[in-house]
Amino acid sequence: MKVRISFQARIAGVLIMLLLIVVFAVFIAVRAATQDAVRKQAQAQLEVGTRVFEGLLEMRGKRLRDSVQLLSTDFGFRDAVASADSATIRSVLLNHGARINANDMFLLGMDGTVMASTVAQIPEGSPFPYTQALRELKGKNQSMLIVPLQGQPHLLVESTVLAPLPIARVVMGFSMDGDLAQELRSLSGLQVSFLSIVQKQPGQMISTQPAPLFDSLRGVMMNPPSDEMQMTEHQNQSFLSKILRLGSNSDSEVVALLQSPLDQAMQAFAPLDKTLFWITVVALACSLVGALLLARNLSRPVSALAQAARRIGEGDYATPVVLDRRDELGLLASAINSMQSGIAERELQLAHNALHDPLTGLPNRALVMERLGSAVIAQRPVALLYLGIDNFRAISTNVGLEGVEQLLRIISEQLQEPLRPGDTVARLSDNEFLLLVHNAETDSAVAVADRLQRLLVKPQRIGEQDIAMDACIGIAAYPANGDSASELLRRASIARQDAAQLPGRLQVYVDGRDVAHLRQISLIRDLRQAARNGELSLHYQPKLDIRNGRVTQAEALLRWQHPQFGSVSPAEFIVLAERTGSIQILTNWVIEEALRQLAEWAYRGLVLQVSVNISADDLLDGNLADRVAALLKLYRVPAEQLIFEITESA
């Protein structure tokens, strides 16, 4: 089953969908802008924190360096170093380290051998592992070295003991432990992590991050990214991270990881997300209401226009579209009203044209037959007058098309003069009219026909010519002459044809004329095929020359043996042939048959002249002479043996 979605629902759906797209786009844009702002803030915080971190280490290193230099210049300490008083040296190192919170104290010989140490991992008498690194650092005018020691990063500084020549080197340092990391975090606002790596093996993780993150942090610090700053994820927590390499040599390094937490920064925007969410909900609700109202505002006029189109399609042109709007829909409603009025006018015109003659404006056959049928059904007496202008063709030839049209308009006006209100005059064809006279018997119809003939017999001035019309009128009345409209029309037509043969040109239908009329129709229909069917024959009436008692001529007499009616008189079918235009077919056949017979007689030694009757229509045929010449040549008959006689009707 196909679900039907209304126009209103479609509009509302499209508007809501567009709003959802816009709101979603705004939300994504705000979210992206927020994340970008958080990232930039984190970058700024990380840069500031890095500077703070570096400054704090530098400060701690400077303070440690000052303390070491102070110790190296102490007279008692120099004296103990010069006298190799190991007990005094160790006591001084421990006391001085305790005062400055240093936990790594070494006294080195000028060759790098450990003379005194507080670190068990580097005993006295062993070479100091970072001697070369300290010398390289001193060559760079730097005095602070960060190295991995005892699994942790340590910061070391060095100072030379002079007496007055260099006799030893004092190295002191402190471990970069959790306290230092927490101090750096409190000052920089960053998460701080330290990791020492010796021969690619990590040492103890020192970090302000919780212990569950150590493994993830260690992975980042063991494989530091190429970028200085990078987004990292640790157990679904996002950080902007920066790796600092604090110290390194061929097989060890110390790495610091500074991290700005993005999730915490995003939490600051949580109220904005909540506010944006509720703004979205309210906007969607308002837009839903607005979309429904807009869709309703659009769908109602569209529905009204659709109903108007449906009414117009059903033929209702009287009900206008009432739509009080000034927008495009209002213009469309006005256009539909105009179209409706135009269609109504055109349909009225079409209906009028369908039932009226376009030239004279008179009703046509369809309308007069409808009115005649209504009168018959209502059993009202009515007379039907069938009028024809017999010389219409000759008039048309004389006055031309414009003159004929003028004449037809005059006739249409004259035919209405003797009629009463309610009677009908209709035009059937070029020269035929019907007059429907209500509540009239035969006598009344004859009187009307007589008045019409008196009107029509008066010559009419058309252009430069006076035109006289030969009008024939046939009358059939209901109920005397028929009980249906078609029967009355047919009998009125028969009466008109009979009137054409009468001097008064007026005839009332006579009972029984239908049979004669049907015979004429059959003869007219079959006459065209008579020659082809072998139904025609020529009889020759000899003409005797009384002076010498010889037959020198014969007259060809045409006969027709009809398969249904038998022998048909020439007086009957010749008239029909001349009326219907079939006379030339008969003439051509008669001429050819007469020449064929003459050729046959000549072959037998009989030479005669044969006379053939031709009509006026034959004389008007421009091809007659050529056709006769061709037949004379075909049958080898001398032209003087064929005589043409013009019929009396011509």
Q: Which of 367, 273, 210 is nearest to 26 (CA)?
A: 273
- Say yes or no: 337 and 431 in one domain: no
DSSP classification of residue 640: G
Average pLDDT on 316-336 reads: 75
Q: What is the CATH number of the domain that holds 447?
A: 3.30.70.270
What confidence score (pLDDT) does residue 188 get? 78
Under the banding of pLDDT at 50, 70 and 90, the label for residue 288 is confident
More confident residue, 578 or 597: 597
Q: What distance in Å separates the CA atoms of residue 490 and residue 471, rounded to the nearest whole number? A: 18
Q: What is the CATH number of the domain that holds 83?
A: 3.30.450.20
- Say yes or no: 303 and 370 in one domain: no
- Say yes or no: 469 and 490 in one domain: yes
Average pLDDT on 164-185 reads: 84
- Say yes or no: 367 and 339 in one domain: no
Average pLDDT on 269-283 reads: 74
- On the question of pLDDT at 213 being above 60, the answer is yes
Is the Cβ–Cβ distance between 256 and 246 less than 8 Å?
Answer: yes
Residue 426: its H or E element: strand 424-427
Average pLDDT on 219-224 reads: 78
Q: Considering the chain, what percentage of its residues have pLDDT values greater than 90?
A: 6
* Domains in the chain, number: 4
pTM score of the predicted model: 0.43
With H, G, I as helix, E, B as strand and everything else as coil, classify residue 202. strand
Q: Which residue has the tokens 């999730």?
A: 263
What confidence score (pLDDT) does residue 1 get? 45
Residue 127 belongs to some domain of the structure: yes
Q: Which of 141, 175, 209 is the C-terminal boundary of a domain?
A: 175
Provide the domain limits for residue 585.
525-646
User: Tokens in use for 82?
Assistant: 């010069």
Quick: pLDDT tens for 99-154: 877 888 888 888 888 888 888 788 888 888 888 777 777 777 777 888 887 778 88
- Say yes or no: 555 and 433 in one domain: no
Q: What distance in Å separates the CA atoms of residue 427 and residue 365, rounded to the nearest whole number? A: 7
Residue 209 belongs to some domain of the structure: no
Under the banding of pLDDT at 50, 70 and 90, the label for residue 387 is very high
- Say yes or no: 570 and 588 in one domain: yes
Q: What distance in Å separates the CA atoms of residue 14 and residue 8, rounded to the nearest whole number? A: 10
Q: Which residue has the tokens 């007990």?
A: 87
- Say yes or no: 344 and 400 in one domain: no
- Say yes or no: 417 and 320 in one domain: no
Is the Cβ–Cβ distance between 384 and 423 less than 8 Å?
Answer: no
- Say yes or no: 582 and 487 in one domain: no
Is the Cβ–Cβ distance between 591 and 623 less than 8 Å?
Answer: no
Q: Which residue has the tokens 């400054």?
A: 55
Check whether the bond before 358 is cis (ω within 30° of 0).
no
DSSP 150-200: TTEEEEEEEEEEESSSEEEEEEEEEE--HHHHHHHHHHH-SEEEEEEEETT
Q: What distance in Å separates the CA atoms of residue 490 and residue 513, rounded to the nearest whole number? A: 11
- On the question of pLDDT at 599 being above 50, the answer is yes
Quick: pLDDT tens for 245-265: 877 777 778 888 888 887 766
Q: What is the CATH number of the domain that holds 559?
A: 3.20.20.450
Residue 367 belongs to some domain of the structure: yes
Quick: pLDDT tens for 344-375: 788 777 777 788 888 888 898 888 899 889 99
Q: Which of 351, 374, 391 is the C-terminal boundary of a domain?
A: 351
Phi, psi of 114 (to 5 degrees): -75, 120
Lowest mean pLDDT segment, chosen from 210-219, 318-327, 409-418, 546-555? 318-327
- On the question of pLDDT at 191 being above 80, the answer is yes
| Other Cβ atoms within 10 Å of 24 Cβ, number | 11
User: Tokens in use for 273?
Assistant: 């997300």
What confidence score (pLDDT) does residue 539 get? 92
Strand-strand pairing, 432-438 and 536-545: unpaired
Is the Cβ–Cβ distance between 473 and 506 less than 8 Å?
Answer: yes
Residue 398 belongs to some domain of the structure: yes
> Residue 639, class by beta-carbon neighbours within 10 Å (0-12 exposed, 13-18 middle, 19+ buried)?
exposed
With H, G, I as helix, E, B as strand and everything else as coil, classify residue 518. helix
Q: Which residue has the tokens 């570096």?
A: 54
| Strand order across the beta sheet in which 114-117 lies | 114-117, 104-108, 166-175, 152-162, 144-149
- Say yes or no: 376 and 506 in one domain: yes
Quick: pLDDT tens for 550-579: 888 899 898 999 888 888 888 888 887 887
Q: What distance in Å separates the CA atoms of residue 404 and residue 395, rounded to the nearest whole number? A: 7
Question: Considering all CA atoms of the chain, what is the largest pairwise distance in Å, rounded to the nearest integer?
Answer: 203
Q: Which of 117, 149, 175 is the C-terminal boundary of a domain?
A: 175
Tell me the three-class secondary structure of 319-333, residue by residue: CCCCCCCCCHHHHHH
Check whether the bond before 164 is cis (ω within 30° of 0).
yes
Average pLDDT on 188-197 reads: 84
Residue 374 belongs to some domain of the structure: yes
- Say yes or no: 364 and 346 in one domain: no
Residue 446 belongs to some domain of the structure: yes
Q: Which residue has the tokens 């915080």?
A: 45
Residues 6+ positions from 45 with CB-CB distance below 8 Å:
189, 190, 260
Under the banding of pLDDT at 50, 70 and 90, the label for residue 269 is low
Quick: pLDDT tens for 496-524: 888 888 877 888 888 766 666 667 777 77
Residue 467 belongs to some domain of the structure: yes
**Ordered alpha helix ranges (H), 362-484:** 365-377, 392-416, 442-456
Average pLDDT on 536-550 reads: 86
Give the sign of the dihedral formed by CA 221, CA 225, CA 231, CA 233.
Answer: negative
- Say yes or no: 390 and 507 in one domain: yes
Quick: pLDDT tens for 452-495: 888 888 888 887 788 888 889 998 999 888 889 988 898 888 88
> Residue 140, class by beta-carbon neighbours within 10 Å (0-12 exposed, 13-18 middle, 19+ buried)?
exposed
Residue 243 belongs to some domain of the structure: no
